[in-house]
Structures are given as C-alpha cells and as structure tokens.
Amino acid sequence: MLKVTLTFILFPKMTLAKKCTVLYFKFTKKYIVLDKTTKAYQIAQEKMLEQDAFSQWLGIEIIAIGQGATTLQLTIRADMTNGFGIAHGGIAYALADSALAFASNAHGRHSVSVDTSIAHLQVAKVGDTLQAVTEEESLSHKMGVYRVVIRNQKQEKIAVFKGIVYRSSQEWQV
C-alpha cells in the first residue's frame, strides 16, 4: 500500500480544495480517497464507534476511512495481556474485527460478518502500537470480502485477518 497526502479538488460537491489522504492498494489496483467529512467517517465514528463500548475500552482510534478501507490504531496496555505477559490474541482479533466492520459499513449499508479468521504472526507487548489496515478484496450486492493486516510501530506484521460480510439492504441514516 502506498500512502500519499495531497491537496486537490476532486469531489463534485466540494467548492474548496481539501487536504485528503489517497491510498493505493497494489493487490486490487485501486485508489481510495479518504476524507473525514465523508459519510464513511460519519458512519464509523458517530454510528459505530461512539456506540461500541468494547472498541472504546480497547482505545481504538480511526486514523483513516473510506468506502471499503480503514486504518485503525490502538496501544497495548497491561490489562490486555495474557498469562505469558504478551497481548492476548483476542486484542488483535478485536482490532481487526472493528476494522472490518468500519470498512464494510462505510459503503452506507448495514453489514455484518459471517466468516472471519486470523493468523497471528508475532507477539505484541505492552506499549506496542498496533495499526490495522483494511482492504476490500471483493464486493457484490450481498457479500464483501476483506483483508486486514495488523502491524506494530516498527512496521512488523503482527497478524493477518480475513473477513466476509453479509450486506443487508438497510441503509445507515447519517
């Protein structure tokens, strides 16, 4: 993934240039423009994160969001560790699950996971900052397939998560 920040006029309803982040995903060869004024951000922040006590407890922050793509971040705390003194695997899973939810719902339709899996590649420790980047691999009228890669502050790959969502016909009201 290539991340570039540009200032430009791109959106038909925008009258002033805005600073936006543009992500390029090599796998799907797609560019995604991320702008915090979009409906995607409103859905993720106002409708989902603010109503999600668990994600709030995790300390999840929305770094970037667009339709089908998100970047979320959290920092591992002592109360997130297991008996080995490392981050409980459920923490990485929960971060990835939230990233999947925000990315898939950002299209404006209620979407819920129907199948998920995670591969834990390295341990995370207290003080590590984990960042989950979601990429939409496939989207149809009723289903979406997503891949979430979690890296630490050293850009080491911690986990890879795959999720499939069912897309209902119910629209988010923002």
Q: What is the predicted pLDDT for the residue at 156?
A: 97
- The pTM score is 0.79
Read out DSSP for 20-69? EEEEEETTTTEEEEE-TTSHHHIIIIIIIGGG-HHHHHHT-EEEEEETTE
Residue 45, pLDDT above cutoff 90:
no
For tokens 């069912």, what's the residue? 166
Query: Given this model, what pLDDT does residue 9 score?
Result: 34
Kindly list the domain boundaries of the chain, sorted by start residue.
36-171
The percentage of the chain sitting over the pLDDT mark of 90, rounded to a whole number, equals 57
Model confidence band, residue 15 (pLDDT cutoffs 50, 70, 90):
very low
Which amino acid appears at position 11 of this protein? F
Is the pLDDT assigned to residue 171 strictly greater than 50? yes
Q: What's the CATH number for 36-171?
A: 3.10.129.10
Q: pLDDT band at 5, cuts 50/70/90?
A: very low
